[in-house]
């Protein structure tokens, strides 16, 4: 009776389990992954959709898919199906059960290998799949796309299953291989584990392995080799549950069944949808993303994907902003070509031959660059130039990186704060730091209209008539006052004396001119309203009156040279070096001129300036190379006293002496 009951129980077990596979998927399912935000707000992802039998669902259209970002829908703009191949790992863990032979003397192990060999032969010529094979205590290959390599490895296997000792570590190794970065983006990944019953090997580490496989979307399929009527242990049940949790299939083989077709496992994993959608996210944070797919009357939803995103507004910045601008208060008189060039340079060119008000800008060109701190460069839709808190110019279309700052309304010397505001396509707005810019307004005294050009013919006629009259008068007088011959020697002496006296008078006149230029402040008109303590006035010749507007010295140190972007005062002359000289205001409030080792030298009243620096006084004539200036103080305390020193008869020189 006991044997009969045992037989009945075995029949019931056979009917319930061994001859049919256990499917992990009783319902349709989908996976969303590989979220890419490099082109944000456009997000790329990959989508796979399977029916209740595990087959890939082909032909889904974009309007059948909805993306939800933390509950907010986002439109799908593109959906493209592609065939990518599958990354598969065959892991064989033989044991004594593999060595049992059927009535044809063929072992279960040989039947398993024959099934794999047939599949490899069917894939000859295809390189789309990534193949790996692990046999416990046997040969192996890793990540090979040639089915011939798989075939040769199976044929070279010499493992005796009757003496083999199963090792669950083979499964750990297989999952690690399947988790490697796929050769092609979007490849499906799976593991086929062929083993005997794990018995008491289901521990916490194995459970964690299946959790890891689920997170990486790696289905683990298990073929378990057992005899018909074998009792299903608790370990077997736990293994079945773990397999189902990853989306894999469980199958028992007792040599009385046909082995499954491998393509039923692999074909659904060779296809993927490339998905693209426009995100509605506009701030940094963590978001839950999932897809909803409408397939006929069924709606399939993916698991939640966590998306962490960093979004920051654009950051504008000025390129080489001006520190100081000297402005012409009468912009209508400015020559357009000179004005534009001066505005672009953003400084006063002291070496120009025409140092009139036409060299001063009525506008300033400002160049801007934009940075995106979040690393996602986006188009701009609006930029604004803000001066002293007010928008003075807006760009609503490209180019967004340039502004023209009008200076027409400035009538006094002031420091203005400028900054730029930028808005991108996401509606995010960023501002630059505020830059202080000193605007110096120079007032010029208008000269009366020149009437000479209009009356030139009349003036020339009168000049000719006057010259003729003078010549005639001179001839008449000389004829009447003709000296006698005996007095000719005396006359020559008196004539020589007159020439010497004339020379003396000329020297006195030069001294007087030098003194008047220093002491009479009205010969050096300074700009009204300016706050600078010292100025340089350009002179084309050492004793000519100044014809160019004064150049204010506003900083404690002003470098002079020809170097663009290196010298504060840039001079365009062959004698000027990159950094030629320096004017500095020291702690005692006095100004010093020092030469920076130039070839042409720097001079104060025709005396060379040293590298250590020589003190400057109000009215000093200085030369930088061959470019001359007058140094003026707004409130001079003293000036140099001119001293005449004669080396030869009829020759004199002027030196400055502090008074």
Strands of the sheet containing 271-278, edge to edge, are 29-36, 42-50, 271-278, 76-83
Do 70 and 213 reside in the same domain of the chain?
no
Residue finishing a domain among 414, 441, 468: 441
What confidence tier does 557 reach under pLDDT thresholds 50, 70, 90?
Answer: very high
Same domain, residue pair 122 and 140: yes
| Dihedral (CA of 568, 571, 575, 577) sign | positive
- Which DSSP string corresponds to 121-148? HHTTT---SEEEEEETTS-EEEEE--HH
Tell me if 488 is assigned to some domain: no
Whether residue 356 lies inside any domain: the answer is yes
Instruction: Say yes or no: 429 and 575 in one domain.
Output: no
Between 646 and 223, the more confident residue is 223
pLDDT band at 462 (very low <50, low <70, confident <90, very high): confident
- The lowest-confidence range among 17-31, 374-388, 507-521, 576-590 is 507-521
- Kindly tell me if the per-residue pLDDT of 53 is higher than 60: yes
For residue range 101-125, what is the model confidence (pLDDT) as tens digits? 888 888 999 999 999 999 999 999 9
**Of 269, 301, 329, which marks where a domain is finished?**
269
Q: What is the SS3 assignment for 373-414?
A: CCCCCCCEEEEEEEECCEEEEEECCCCCCEEEEECCCCCCCE
Helices marked H in 194-331 = 204-215, 234-245, 263-266
CATH number of the domain encompassing residue 38: 2.60.40
- Mark whether 73 and 166 lie in a shared domain: no
Mean pLDDT of the chain, nearest integer? 79
Would you state the pLDDT for residue 505? 31
Q: Which of 386, 412, 441 is the last residue of a domain?
A: 441
Q: Are 232 and 289 in the same domain?
A: no
- Indicate whether 100 belongs to any domain: yes
Domain match, 392 and 380 both: yes
Q: Is pLDDT at 229 greater than 90 in this prediction?
A: no
Position 395 scores a pLDDT of: 96
Same domain, yes or no: 251 and 398: no
Phi and psi (nearest 5°) for 507? -65, -45
Tell me whether residue 605 is in a domain: yes
How many angstroms separate the first and last alpha carbons of the chain?
A: 141
Section 1-28 average pLDDT:
43
pLDDT 10s digits, 146-158: 999 999 999 998 8
More confident residue, 367 or 356: 367
Residue 334, domain CATH? 2.60.40.10
User: Could you tell me the residue range of the domain that residue 555 belongs to?
Assistant: 518-658
C-alpha 268/C-alpha 17 separation (Å) is: 25
Residue 2 lies in a domain: no
Taking each continuous run of H as one helix and of E as one strand, the counts in the chain are 10, 38
In a domain, 495, yes or no: no
In a domain, 486, yes or no: no
Same domain? For 278 and 261 the reply is no
Per-residue model confidence as pLDDT tens digits over 387-445: 999 999 999 999 999 999 999 888 889 999 999 999 999 999 999 999 999 999 876 55
Looking at residue 234, its pLDDT comes to 78
Digit-coded pLDDT (tens) for 127-186: 999 999 999 999 999 999 999 999 999 999 888 999 999 999 999 999 999 999 998 888
Least confident window among 86-100, 107-121, 223-237, 481-495: 481-495
How many of the other CB atoms lie within 10 Å of CB of 481?
A: 7
Give the total number of structural domains in the chain.
Answer: 4
Same domain membership, residue 321 and residue 305: no
- At 523 the pLDDT is 42
Mean pLDDT calculated for residue range 588-615: 92
Q: Interior CA angle at 496 toward 492 and 500, to 5°?
A: 170
Task: CATH number of the domain at 91, please.
Answer: 3.40.50.410
The pLDDT of residue 350:
33
Domain containing residue 537: CATH number: 2.60.200.20
Band (635; pLDDT cuts 50, 70, 90): confident
Residue in this structure with the two tokens 């349709």, named with its chain if needed: 28
Domain shared by 330 and 261, yes or no: no
Domain identity same for 281 and 264: no
Judge if 215 and 187 occupy the same domain: yes
Q: Which residues of 251-285 are buried (b: 16+ CB within 10 A; e: fewer)?
A: bbbbbeeebbebeebbebbbbbbbbbbebebeeee
Q: Quick one: which of 352, 307, 304 has its CA closest to 326?
A: 352
Least confident of 126-140, 183-197, 474-488: 474-488
**Is residue 499 pLDDT above 90, yes or no?**
no
What residues contact 630, with CB distance under 8 A and at least 6 apart? Answer: 517, 524, 536, 537, 539, 546, 619, 620, 621, 622
Q: Is residue 621 part of a domain?
A: yes
């Amino acid at each position: 009776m006991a044997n009969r009951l045992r037989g009945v129980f075995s029949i019931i077990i056979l009917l319930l389990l061994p001859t049919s596979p256990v499917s992990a998927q009783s319902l349709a399912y989908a996976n969303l992954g590989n979220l890419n935000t490099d082109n944000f707000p456009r997000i790329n992802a990959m989508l796979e959709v399977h029916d209740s039998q595990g087959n890939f669902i082909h032909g889904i259209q974009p309007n059948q898919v909805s993306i939800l970002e933390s509950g907010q829908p986002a439109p799908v703009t593109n959906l493209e199906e592609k065939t990518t191949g599958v990354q598969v790992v065959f892991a064989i863990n033989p044991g004594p059960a593999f060595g049992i032979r059927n009535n044809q003397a063929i072992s279960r192990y040989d039947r398993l290998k024959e099934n794999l060999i047939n599949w490899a032969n069917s894939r000859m010529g295809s390189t789309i799949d990534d193949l790996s094979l692990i046999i416990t205590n046997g040969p192996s290959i890793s990540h090979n796309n040639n089915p011939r390599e798989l075939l040769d490895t199976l044929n070279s296997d010499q493992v005796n299953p009757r003496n083999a000792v199963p090792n669950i570590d083979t499964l750990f190794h297989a999952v690690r291989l399947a988790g490697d970065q796929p050769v092609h983006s979007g490849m499906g990944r799976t593991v086929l584990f062929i083993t005997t019953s794990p018995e008491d090997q289901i521990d916490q580490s194995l459970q964690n392995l299946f959790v890891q496989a689920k997170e990486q979307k790696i289905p683990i399929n298990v073929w378990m080799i057992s005899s018909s009527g074998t009792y299903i242990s608790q370990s077997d049940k736990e293994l079945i549950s773990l397999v189902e949790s990853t989306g894999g299939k469980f199958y028992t083989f007792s040599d009385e069944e046909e082995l499954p077709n491998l393509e039923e496992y692999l074909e659904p994993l060779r296809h993927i949808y490339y998905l693209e959608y426009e995100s509605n996210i506009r701030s940094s944070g963590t978001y839950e993303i999932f897809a909803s797919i409408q397939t006929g009357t069924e709606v399939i939803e993916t698991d939640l994907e966590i998306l962490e995103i960093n979004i920051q507004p654009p950051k504008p910045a000025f390129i080489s902003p001006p520190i100081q601008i000297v402005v012409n208060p009468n912009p209508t008189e400015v020559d357009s070509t000179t004005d534009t060039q001066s505005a672009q340079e953003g400084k006063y060119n002291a070496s120009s031959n025409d140092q009139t008000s036409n060299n001063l800008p009525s506008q300033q060109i400002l160049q801007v660059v934009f940075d995106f701190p979040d690393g996602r460069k986006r188009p701009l839709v609006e930029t604004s130039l803000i001066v002293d808190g007010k928008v003075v110019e807006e760009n609503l279309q490209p180019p967004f990186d340039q502004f023209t700052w009008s200076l027409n309304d400035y009538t006094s010397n002031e420091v203005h704060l400028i900054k730029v505001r930028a808005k991108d396509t996401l509606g995010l707005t960023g501002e630059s730091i505020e830059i202080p810019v000193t605007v110096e307004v120079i007032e010029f005294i208008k000269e009366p209209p020149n009437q000479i050009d209009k009356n030139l013919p009349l003036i020339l006629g009168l000049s000719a008539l006057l010259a003729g009259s003078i010549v005639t008068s001179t001839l008449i007088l000389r004829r009447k006052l003709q000296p006698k011959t005996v007095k000719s020697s005396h006359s020559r002496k008196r004539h020589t004396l007159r020439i010497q006296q004339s020379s003396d008078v000329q020297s006195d006149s030069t001294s007087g001119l030098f003194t008047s230029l220093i002491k009479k402040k009205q010969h050096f008109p300074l700009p009204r309203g300016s706050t600078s303590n010292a100025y340089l006035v350009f002179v084309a010749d050492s004793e000519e009156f100044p014809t160019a507007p004064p150049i204010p010295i506003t900083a404690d140190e002003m470098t002079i040279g020809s170097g663009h972007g290196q010298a504060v005062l840039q001079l365009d002359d062959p004698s000027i070096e990159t950094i030629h000289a320096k004017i500095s205001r020291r702690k005692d409030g006095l100004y010093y001129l020092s030469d920076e080792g130039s070839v042409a030298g720097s001079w104060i009243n025709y005396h060379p300036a040293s590298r250590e620096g020589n003190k400057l006084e109000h009215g000093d004539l200085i030369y930088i190379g061959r470019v001359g200036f007058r140094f003026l103080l707004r409130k001079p305390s003293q000036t140099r006293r001119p001293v005449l020193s004669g080396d030869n008869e009829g020759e004199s020189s002027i030196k400055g002496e502090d008074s």
